[in-house]
């Protein structure tokens, strides 16, 4: 089987059906539960002091290109960047159990995604240049590999002064422990969420962030030291995801989405410190995941350079919001709703505003869509329950207007395709069919109430077959990343609207397709989401993410 056939076969076998769920473990092996914290024992630890005051801009401002003056790169801004992206957000306790939550969500709270930083010598307290691993439990950096200033200069020569790199990798085992074969999909969603969290954290500091889309997975592996056999001897491996450049001062720069390849072996050949901790006592293999990972390994590719907008703030189009929550407040309060009240709805105006955030604008893509380089491949099929004054029913949001025809052709012929009342012209939202779809939404999500008891829920359908045939099997992961980015925006937008959101990875794939009339692989549903008025669980207590001494 070639790579494309392999990933299509994986996609089919990892679907849930009412009569057969995707293969998973027969029960949860609690003693073998993976440690949520990867550490590199022996690597020097650099603690990031938590900023004492919340000086972050209003949440509403982060979506306005050029509205936030870039913060200079200091220990404090670097700490803020991680605090608002991959750090812990709280500890929860119930009876004898205690578990941490993070700024970025993760299927089953299992957190397969690891963060890396490659930093120069701009921050004296951190003493670069070096490759660091971010340790969320400590809010600290583990210094894996110092290297020379000369190597740093060559590595960063394509980028504006002050730029640094971040990296993401995934430990598939963390998700596979609970979800078996479907876990590979969830790991990719989580990459999308983590990338979205990082883009937003960069944005609130006025920084640009762009994924270096030309790099091969082999190059990502090499820079992050993921193939260092001796360091991972007993430990579960990390799969390369991405490297992105963060530019605190981009000055309208045009930069390539690659690194000077010749310098990567120099970093890889430098001296590395630390050995990865084993996360579980015994290794369990999920062959289908290994095959999917291999089939979707990314080769080096060529894409257009990235054009950062000018950093000088343009005069704001609308008055600058002064009140309202800060971006940090919204980011740290984000949680997944575990139950919704079935009563709280939202106004059509708020709904349209929220959906508007999910549609990249053509010339200025805006945050977070500016961190990826491909055109939108994911559209939304919505189950509207409680949006005043919209009629409940099935709706569609076409995120790339040029594809409206193709999507329409693939969906049921007798759908209405009418514009809902008061819908702004630039929002490509359509009513497909009036119906009470609460029960349908619930049933499609494996009977999960959360899909039917919010204001609305939705399926993210990808332009699937065409995207994979055009770009190659490796693009499979990107489709899930894009879905994760949509989910991340929805999580924050739900909080900003006084509601709550939940990502839904568990649904009956082909039943969803049937509901909308999708009969082939042109479009496939990759992720679901729900937004509504949450019911809190009063049994849980909440504790701060870090001891006060960290602040």
Q: Which residues of this protein are in contact with ligand FMN, per CB under 6 A?
A: 101-102, 105-109, 186, 189-190, 193, 335-336, 448, 450, 502-506
Question: Are 62 and 324 contacting, i.e. CB atoms less than 8 angstroms apart?
Answer: no
248/484 with CB nearer ligand FMN:
484
Between strands 113-119 and 387-388, the pairing is: unpaired
Nearer to ligand FMN, 75 or 540 (CB): 540
- Contact between 47 and 139 under an 8 Å Cβ cutoff? The reply is yes
Nearby residues of 424 by Cβ (< 8 Å), 6 or more positions away = 352, 356
Q: 430 by DSSP, 3-state: which?
A: strand
Cis upstream peptide for 368 (omega within 30°): yes
- Is the Cβ of residue 434 or residue 536 nearer to ligand FMN in the bound state? 536
How far is it, in rounded angstroms, from Cα 411 to Cα 517? Answer: 5
Judged by beta carbon, residue 110 or residue 204, the one nearer ligand FMN is: 110
Nearer to ligand FMN, 30 or 262 (CB): 30
Q: At what angle do helices 348-356 and 475-496 cross, to 10 degrees?
A: 140
CB of 373 to ligand FMN, least distance (A): 23
CB of 293 to ligand FMN, least distance (A): 17
Closest separation between CB of residue 106 and ligand FMN, Å?
5
What's the DSSP call for residue 312?
A: S
The dihedrals phi and psi of 344, each to the nearest 5 degrees, come to -75, 125
Q: Count Cα neighbours of 44 within 13 Å in the Cβ-side half-sphere.
A: 11
CA distance 137 to 243: 22
The CA-based dihedral angle spanning residues 76, 78, 79, 81, taken in that order and rounded to the nearest 10 degrees: 120
The set of residues, in sequence order, having a beta carbon less than 8 Å from that of 111 and lying 6+ positions away, is: 36, 102, 104, 174, 190
Q: Are residues 37 and 134 in contact, defined by beta-carbon separation less than 8 angstroms?
A: no
What is the distance, to the nearest Å, from the Cα of residue 550 to the centroid of all Cα atoms in its chain?
A: 27
Q: Which helix (H) or strand (E) holds 198?
A: helix 183-204
As a whole number of angstroms, the distance between CA 551 and CA 547 comes to 8
CB of residue 187 to ligand FMN, shortest distance in Å? 9
Q: How far is the CB of 105 from ligand FMN (least distance, A)?
A: 3
Q: Which residue has the tokens 């990082």?
A: 198
Contacts of 229 (CB under 8 A, 6+ apart): none
Phi, psi values for residue 531, rounded to 5°: -135, 135
Of 70 and 533, CB closest to ligand FMN: 533
CA distance 181 to 13: 8
Q: CB of residue 507 vs ligand FMN: minimum separation in angstroms?
A: 7
258: which 2 tokens?
A: 């690659």
Tell the smallest beta-carbon distance from residue 65 to ligand FMN (Å).
27
Q: Which of the 8 DSSP states describes residue 304?
A: P
Rounded least distance, CB 335 to ligand FMN, Å: 4
* Nearest CB to ligand FMN, comparing residues 293 and 331: 331
Between 334 and 431, CB nearer to ligand FMN: 334
Alpha-carbon radius of gyration of the chain = 22
**Nearest distance in Å: CB 319, ligand FMN:** 33
Nearer to ligand FMN, 109 or 419 (CB): 109
Nearest to 192 by CA among 61, 63, 371, 13: 371
Shorter beta-carbon distance to ligand FMN: residue 118 or 506 = 506
Closest CB 394 distance from ligand FMN, rounded Å: 20
C-beta closer to ligand FMN: residue 393 or 501: 501
CB closer to ligand FMN out of 136 and 503? 503
Q: How far is the CB of 454 from ligand FMN (least distance, A)?
A: 12
Q: How far is the CB of 156 from ligand FMN (least distance, A)?
A: 32
> Quick one: tokens of 378?
């994911």
């Amino acid at each position: 089987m070639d790579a494309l056939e392999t990933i299509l076969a994986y996609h089919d076998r990892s679907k849930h059906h009412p009569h057969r769920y995707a293969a998973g473990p027969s029960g949860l092996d609690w003693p073998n539960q993976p440690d949520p914290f990867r550490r590199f024992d022996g690597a020097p630890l650099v603690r990031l002091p938590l900023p004492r005051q919340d000086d972050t801009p209003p949440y509403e401002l982060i979506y306005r290109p050029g509205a936030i003056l870039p913060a200079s790169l200091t220990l404090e801004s670097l700490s803020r960047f991680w605090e608002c992206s991959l750090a812990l957000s709280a500890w929860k306790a119930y009876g004898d159990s205690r578990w941490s939550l993070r700024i970025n969500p993760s299927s089953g709270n299992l957190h397969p995604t690891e963060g890396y930083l490659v930093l120069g010598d701009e921050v004296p307290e951190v003493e670069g240049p070096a490759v660091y691993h971010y340790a969320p439990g400590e809010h600290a950096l583990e210094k894996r590999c110092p290297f020379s200033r000369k190597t740093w200069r060559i590595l960063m020569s394509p980028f504006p002064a002050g730029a640094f790199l971040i990296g993401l990798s995934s430990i598939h085992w963390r998700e596979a422990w609970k979800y078996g074969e479907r876990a590979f999909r969830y790991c990719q969603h989580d990459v999308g969420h983590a990338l979205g969290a990082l883009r937003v954290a960069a944005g609130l500091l006025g920084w640009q962030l762009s994924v270096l889309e030309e790099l091969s997975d082999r190059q990502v592996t090499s820079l992050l030291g993921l193939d260092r056999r001796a360091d991972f001897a007993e430990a579960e491996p990390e799969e390369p995801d991405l490297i992105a450049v963060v530019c605190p001062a981009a000055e309208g720069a045009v930069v390539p989405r690659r690194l000077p390849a010749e310098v990567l072996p120099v970093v890889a050949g430098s001296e590395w410190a630390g050995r990865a901790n084993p996360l579980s006592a015994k290794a369990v293999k999920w062959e289908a995941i290994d095959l999917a990972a291999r089939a979707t390994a990314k080769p080096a590719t060529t894409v257009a350079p990235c054009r950062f907008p000018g950093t000088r703030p343009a005069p704001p189009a609308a008055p600058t919001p002064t009140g309202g929550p800060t971006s940090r407040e919204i980011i740290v309060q984000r949680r997944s709703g575990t139950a919704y009240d079935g009563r709280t709805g939202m106004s059509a105006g708020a709904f349209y505003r929220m959906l508007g955030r999910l549609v990249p604008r053509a010339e200025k893509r805006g945050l977070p869509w500016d961190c990826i380089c491909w055109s939108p491949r994911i559209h939304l099929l919505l189950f509207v329950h409680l949006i005043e004054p919209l009629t409940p029913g099935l709706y569609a949001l076409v995120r790339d207007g040029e594809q409206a025809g193709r999507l329409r052709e693939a969906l049921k012929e007798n759908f209405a395709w009418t514009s809902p009342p008061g819908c702004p012209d630039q929002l490509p939202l359509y009513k497909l069919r009036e119906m009470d779809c609460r029960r349908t939404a619930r049933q499609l999500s494996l009977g999960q109430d959360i899909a039917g008891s919010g204001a609305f829920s939705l399926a993210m359908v990808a332009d699937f077959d065409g995207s994979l045939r055009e770009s190659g099997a490796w693009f499979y992961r990107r489709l899930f990343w894009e879905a994760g980015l949509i989910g991340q925006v929805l999580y924050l937008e739900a909080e900003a609207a006084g509601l709550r959101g939940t990502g839904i990875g568990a649904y009956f794939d082909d039943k969803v397709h049937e509901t909308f009339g999708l009969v082939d692989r042109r479009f496939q549903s990759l992720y679901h989401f729900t937004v509504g008025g949450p019911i809190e669980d009063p049994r849980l207590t909440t504790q701060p993410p870090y001891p006060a001494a960290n602040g």
